[in-house]
Chain A
Amino acid sequence: MGVPDRLNYSTKAKQLLEKIDEENYFGLGLKGSTRSELFLFAMSLGAETNRKTEITHPYSGGLILEKSIDSKTKALMYAQYIASLEDPDSGLDSIRNKSLVYKAAEQYANTGFEIIANYFDTKKAEDLVWDLFLELDAQYDKIIHS
């Protein structure tokens, strides 16, 4: 497997993004976010579930070329990978294996896209925002009290 030059996503996610772009649902369409920001959001939703979903039918063109991945997304892709290492002290050098880092990110994002698809089908953006606030409050409480 060669060094990845882009972030991939599924054809299903591709279809979802077409619909999202049309409505700019939750500001996630091209009018509201870059694809890198969208990917990161999806990745965070997936990471929160701690569930990776294999991309069985990748979209051939990929989602974002390497040069368009913003520094924040990249930083969190690596942080996520490091956090998943059993022994970060000894295994830290494995972050040099870009394929592993990118693949994990893509799989979490793929889970996230499924969650977004569910949001899209079941909730209006103006309702989703208040639901997410509740989730954020809970997450915040958790980190404050940890």
Chain B
Amino acid sequence: MRITNIDIMNYRQYKSLSLEFPESSQCDLHILVAQNGVGKTNLLNAITWCLYGVEPHLSDDTEDLGLPKLNLTAIDEAKAAGKDVEYVEVAIRAEDGYKCITYKRRLPVRIKPNIFEEIAKEVFTVTVATPDGDPKVYESREETKRLVDRYMPEKIREYFYFDGEQLNNYFISTRKGKVKEAIFSISQVDMVNLIYKRLGEIIGDKQREAGQKAPDVKKVKDDLDECENQIQRIENNIRDLEEQIAKSELIIKENTEYLKGEDNLPELEEKYQELKNAQKSLNQEKKALMESIYSFVRDMKIALTYYSAAKDTLNIIEKKERENALPPNIDKGLLLKALNEHVCTICNQPLSSSEEKHIKRLLDSFQVSSETSHLLMSIRSELERIVISAESYAEAKNKIVSTYKNIERQLNIIGAELNNIETRLNSITDKEEIKRRFTERKDNERAKQINTEKLGAAKEQLKRAKAQWEQLKIDLDKAMEKETECSRIKQLIGFAEKARAIIGSVEKEMMDEVRQKMEERTTHYFLELIWKKNTYEKIVLTEDFQLDLIHKDGYSCVGTCSAAERCLLALSFTLALHEVSGFNSLLFIDTPVARVSDINRINFAKVLCDVSYNKQIIMTFSPDEYSPEIRKIFEPAARTSIQLSMVDEKVTIVS
């Protein structure tokens, strides 16, 4: 099937646009060139909205602003004309041999002063016209869906219409399950799978029938049904977990590659912060120590300066002590009291005159020397401390200075490390992106670990459920054998099971064959597209439908190849899918070479030209993207080359 016309009315930038894509005997290649914002991607949205009722490629601006589907000029005109309702409409005309098929979606919108209300459901019709009969219009959901899915199945629409900007993340954002679905659809395994499922239903029906005839059989059958449901739930869970793990692995691989040689920025920053804190703390310690050193030096200056004086004074005191020249510490008050009262204050006996004279002499002589003695005694211990302190200077100095030097040494080491880290940090330009990727990798490593643990548990659970199912199956057979009425049913079930097993193996063979073809064709296209001819060996589609790129040296490198290479890989996969599927439908690529440059662009243009000999291809480019090197290849081959532009920044027209 090929698209011949697209008519757009009142859809977003498009007030009224008719595009024609005439057939050619050569390349069926059609190029649209438009500045950013003119509506290239909304052309893609118009197609997906018409066929599937979805707009998966809306820009953030459009979504953020909440712009209506209805064209802004159409709104103004409707208001001016006093219309209450205006319509958004997209029609796609296509040819399939002698049949002409028109897909049309129409949306009525109520015009109000400030809001535009979608007043009824969209109406989607498919009209099929043949030369020998009246056109037939299909409106029911089932019929219209069937007529879309026959040519461009919705579940693999991403492989027909896609946004080149997103090719970089194609195998990350596209769930593995979707790749599997695509393979299922293209290999027509859908049909076989349907038979497989139908046989399963027949077996189930027959087992239930047997159950109705015999209560024992019913009970076992109920258990078996429950067990099968449980197995289904576990398998779904396992599939989801495997998908999540594969997605995490891809993200980890990609980020690891991006971060290669970037050192470990978060760890580096963490280390930098730790060192800064250590430096601060050491500086505080150094400051406090410096205060201690000042105090130490002051004290030592005093001690060493006064060492001789202190020691000499102590010697004098000791000498006086030895000579008993220093009077004992006598309470002069007691002596004075004894003299005044003429009584000894110790024994209470009256004092004789000679005793009183002796006390007077004592008082006279001690008055002077006891004050001196008292002064000397009061300074003695301080002087002893000064002497000791001065004598221990060397040891104390070594201790305090070595502590200081140790801090200095540590500060020097930290300073050098900080300089080193600062140099490395300053050389990193995209710090924010690196940090984001580190976080993303860390998150995915954690998610992968958790999901792997869950997967292990789920697989164990599945093993047990399957063992239980086997046992229940044996129990069911035994229960049915006991009942003569069930024997014929049992025979039917046995036949259906054999048939189902055969269908199952056919399904697997078909899948394997398609997978093998897909691998081969994807590899072919990729090696055509890529300029590095001696780097990659092949592309592998693993058992669990994970696309992997194998390096010449034998290791997997899908997560580590460049963004441009990933785009080309996604494109190769899509081209292979189209080829292997036999769905000869349109391939629409919006901004296909956004992330591809140089020689890869030229290869891209050549490959697409070749493909367009057998397939209709529509591509949209920005003028920058439509560079001379690809224009040179596309222009001679393109059947149509359309330039789109905008009027008053509101309406897109063909220039």
Which A residues lie at the B interface, using CB under 8 A? 26-28, 32-33, 37, 40-41, 44-45, 47-48, 71-72, 74-76, 78-80, 82-83, 88-89, 92-93, 95-96, 125-126, 129, 132-133, 135-137, 139-140, 143, 146
Contact = CB atoms under 8 A, between A and B. Distances in A.
A120 B371 CA distance: 41
A136 B397 contact: yes
Contact of B306 (A47, A71, A126): A47
Contacts of A26: 294, 298
A40 B295 CA distance: 12
Interface in B369-397: 369, 371-372, 375-376, 378-379, 382-383, 385-386, 390-391, 393-394, 397
**Interface class of chain A by DSSP:** helix
Interface stretch (B145-153, B308-316, B558-566): B308-316
Interface in B388-415: 390-391, 393-394, 397, 401
A76 B372 contact: no
Contact of B294 (A75, A79, A125, A140): A125
Contacts of B397: 133, 136-137
Interface string B307-335: 11110110010001000000000000000
Contacts of B375: 78, 95-96
B396 to A, nearest CB: 11
A37 to B, nearest CB: 7
Given A79-B310, A79-B383, A96-B375, A41 B294 contact: no
Contact of B291 (A27, A45, A80): A27
Contacts of B294: 26-27, 32, 125, 129
Given A75-B310, A139-B304, 10 more contacts: A26-B298, A32-B291, A71-B378, A79-B306, A83-B313, A129-B293, A136-B304, A136-B397, A143-B304, A143-B391
Contacts of A135: 301
For the complex of A and B, list the 7 residue pairs with the smallest distance between their C-beta atoms, beginning with the closest.
A75-B382, A75-B379, A27-B294, A83-B309, A139-B304, A44-B305, A79-B313
B297 interface: yes
A78 to B, nearest CB: 5
Contacts of A74: 378-379, 382
A47 B313 contact: no
Given A75-B382, A93-B368, A48 B310 contact: no
13 contacts: A41-B298, A41-B302, A47-B309, A48-B301, A74-B378, A75-B382, A75-B383, A76-B383, A80-B306, A82-B309, A93-B369, A96-B368, A143-B391
A33 B182 CA distance: 85
Contacts of A143: 304, 307-308, 390-391
Interface residues of B, number: 39
B304 A79 contact: no
A92 B379 contact: no
Contacts of B305: 44-45, 47-48, 139
A37 B296 CA distance: 12
Interface string B347-375: 00000000000000000000011011001
B327 to A, nearest CB: 12
A132 B297 contact: yes
Nearest to A108: B305
Contacts of A32: 291, 294-295
Interface of B: 290-291, 293-295, 297-298, 300-302, 304-310, 312-313, 316, 320, 368-369, 371-372, 375-376, 378-379, 382-383, 385-386, 390-391, 393-394, 397, 401
A80 B305 CA distance: 10
A136 B369 contact: no
Contacts, number: 122
Contact of B302 (A27, A44, A126, A146): A44
Contacts of B378: 71, 74-75
A44 B293 contact: no
Nearest to B384: A75
A98 to B, nearest CB: 9
Contacts of B301: 41, 44-45, 48, 132, 135-136
Contacts of B385: 72
A19 to B, nearest CB: 17
A104 to B, nearest CB: 12
B404 to A, nearest CB: 10
Nearest to A82: B313
Contacts of A136: 297, 300-301, 304, 393, 397
Contacts of A126: 290
Q: Most chain-B Cβ atoms within 10 A of its Cβ — which of A33, A76, A78, A93?
A: A76
B309 A72 contact: no
Contacts of B376: 78, 92, 95
Nearest to B375: A95
Given A78-B375, A96-B371, A83 B312 contact: yes
Nearest to B382: A75
A129 to B, nearest CB: 6
Contact of A72 (B295, B312, B369, B382): B382
B307 A79 contact: no
Given A27-B295, A96-B371, A82 B312 contact: yes
A78 B401 CA distance: 32
A28 to B, nearest CB: 8
